[in-house]
Every structure is written in C-alpha cells, then in structure tokens.
Amino acid sequence: MLTSTDKIQKRLFDIVLSVVGICMTWWLMLLAWIVASVDTKSNGLFMQARIGKEGEPFLVFKIKTMNLLKGVDTTVTTSRDSRITKTGVFFRKTKIDELPQLFNVLFGSMSFVGPRPDVPGFADTLEADDRIILSLRPGITGPASLKYKDEEELLSKQDDPERYNKEVIWTDKVQINKTYIKEWSLKKDIIYIIKTVLG
C-alpha cells in the first residue's frame, strides 16, 4: 500500500517526467494530430470519458485512430476492427496515439504507471477490496498493460471479444493491479516505463 509520502513522491515524479515528455514530443503530437485530422476528416484529438481516481470520471486525451460507424457502438477494439483508420494502425502500433495522455498526467487526472483507465462499466463497478484500484490515478502503462500489450490481437481471435474481455482479461487485470498497488515502489514504476518504451 502507498503511504502519503509514497503518493507525493509518485506525483512529483509524474509532474517532472510529463513536462520532459511534452517538451520532447510536442512536435510529434502536433504532426500526428494534423495527420489524424486529415485521415478522419474531423478533429484529430480524441477525447473520451474514463473512470479515474476514486471513481471520478475524466476526459482522456488521445490521437484519433478510428472512424465512427453506424450500428457499431462497442468499446472493445480488436486488431481487425474496421473502424481503425490507415494511419490509426500505425499510431496504435507505435503508441503515438497515447502521447496526448502526457497532458492528463501533468494535469493530475492520470499517472505514468497504474491501472489503465476504463470506460464506465468496469472500474466504477468494483466492489469490496477490489476498489483499492480506485485509490490511485489510472496510468498510461503498468504491469497489466504490459502483460496485455497484444490485447487487440488476442481479442481478434475470440468468438465473443466483449465477453472474453469482461470475463477473462478484465478479471485478470484487477488481480494484477491489486498486486501492483500492494507492492508499489518508485523503482518498479521506472522499470515498467522502461519496458513500455523498449516495447
């Protein structure tokens, strides 16, 4: 469990690293936004409500990689999803679409490492000791994200991706994230970030 000192340490680390990250990648985010805007013929910045710390909703920022299709309203995405744009395939593979979340980290709605922020219907329904996951800001990466880095490919092989995501992947992620919080250390956070960057 994180102490008050641990949480302050984690937040200061997030602020410093997000400022550095934004200074290094602002031009790439701008270029990706322009390309995504042209490809989707709309604003290339994607914003969606996610569940954050203490179950409070917030807007997550990403580069838009998908088009809206009539009759398709699932939040589960597979690697074969017809909504993904041509440039979106590249942005998702390289994780460039995640870069705007550096601003989420800087503003305090997210952390670099932690449970991934889900759409309503998952984290906000947690009960009993599983709600420990809501004690931290959601993260850009983390142990669960690393384990399921090929989640979209995995889901594409399932007959019922939504059911598999809810009954198998989500359940496993909850346990992984509970362990992460109980065994937290800044050193481990740094290792998770390095593993994410190295792919």
Handedness of CA 9, 182, 111, 134 (dihedral sign): negative
Element (H, E) at 86: helix 86-94
User: Of all residues in the chain, what percent carry a pLDDT higher than 90?
Assistant: 77
Asked whether residue 18 carries a pLDDT value surpassing 90, the answer given is yes
pTM of the model: 0.91
Residues 6+ apart with CB under 8 A from 123: 51, 55, 115, 117, 133, 134, 138
Structure tokens at 193: 């970030």
Q: Pick the more confident residue, 77 or 148.
A: 148
Task: For residue range 118-139, list pLDDT tens digits in order.
Answer: 988 888 888 999 999 999 999 9
Q: On the CB side of 32, how many CA atoms lie within 13 Å of its CA?
A: 26
